[in-house]
Structure 1
């Protein structure tokens, strides 16, 4: 029981959810609004996403005893924010169901796992490091706007690493909250308490919307989210089978799409927080951090917009700093794995730089293109 309620597990789970919501909750608001969604629709979307991430994160983590954290599709939300303008809500729901059905097919027939078997560990590590690089950099760039806040958090983290390694991140977060509150940086007026109410929308299947919205939603979710999500698991030594993970995220989407659960996928950045040594020195116990994250997702679903407002009340620099501190160990381990093999070093470097660049081509994010370019370099490397 004491292991289940470990402070490091709880803190890692909370920070993962904090980072996930503060980094992209606003995009979900925009996506729902683009389809003409009311405040009730937005609340329902957040309810569906929270409930879905709770069910999959807790269920899959306990089933496989691995830190399997799921998330909504952030690139998918960005695509919807642009593509749903003028699309009726019912037709948008039809596109969500179509995308989730394609994810289920991909998982059931093992197509995704077959592809990922050909990704070397060095490239998986480089992909993960590239995805997380901007969070590590944001830790230091935030010093320019909040020197006292971030500087004290960094100092406490370093001291914690020296004398209490398991509690370095929680202590840094606690100090950040104290400094932010005493400096008047927390906007308490942005928070109001209210429960979310699920709102059913019957789907309408329009061929043009299925092709124009549903298919791209499937592609960006698989390429920009599930590829790095599985790479994070592999880079951290977890050989959890991919097919059931992909299948269950798709099934969850089928169930919750009518309420606004547009797409669920494996998390990468937030999952890395739960897989870091700060969550637990023992990799076999880190799944507990993902379970806690799932429980916090449940709260975000039940309270919907209230929780989003709570996260928005915190200063951006505090969120950037705690995310960077929580991910330092993971970034270091990923770079070490990426550059360990000399023959794969150039391909890993291309993957890292391509992913870290943030480029986007044809609506697909840099994680996919970085991995693709790295595989190309690996294929064209000179013979021994």
Structure 2
């Protein structure tokens, strides 16, 4: 295989598609001169239109793109899925010269099966972004609709079957890359016969996540925040009861902190500014802040996750307040001192905040920058 040739297979549109897929691939093309073919799945014309709009901002990837059709994740649709993937892979000239990188374990299972059927010998790196089987159990327990519960139950049966198949295979072509060591521990515990090498690559912070003093001052002046004030970012996205947005914000404000609340849920408290901003403006607002709040519900899905916000907060040198429910965040804060770990909102104290942002910027970039993680992926491809 040519180490400078990569086929990247993504099965659909997700909220972090730009930050986690397109930013990585653009880095490969621009910085490492890797020839990338993006094989992109879509389930409907609407999803394809959304994807086309996002990809249009990455012209480097447009010249070598292959579309393929995806189908619902049920056993009935597997033959259609396999036919679609085999058609896409077979359309690539000199396919044997490429390393294949697949996003998600379900897509990885299908690609492994399809590539075996057309007798490919390519090295395959499968990214596991979360343990979807556990997410399905979670949805089943929390859903009250009989029809929806039936469909989820059917999916669970299928996913259990393909997990058993996928993780029991002896396929020397495969390497698994998980976003956290907790997912690899899960695989080892549930599937002790799994013979694949297990790597860890957390979510990336794109190249645009670079601290900017000018943007910091401009955002503060625009929002009417004093340049010498201490500012916290809260970016929860929803108003779930466990997030306790208002209590967190009140606690910070009582300690003299200004709060930028990036949420659709307005919190009417003095010195709290609520707004929704486009992703492109996020680096400027993170530059304007000093502190970030990462609050998560207690469950295995969160514990084993790699939130994009964590990567972005860390890469921007923010001092992170976290409630100990994401293993990656706990490990990062404990190893670097770039924040505090608390059990309850009442424990939040910003007295221990330090102004050494420069050291946090260095450690954040080392752990989560697209450069650091891309280089690690490339090393994995070449193993």
TM-score (ref. length: structure 1) = 0.27
Higher percent of residues as strand: 2
Structure with greater contact order relative to length (CA < 8 Å, sep ≥ 6): 1
Higher percent of residues as helix: 1
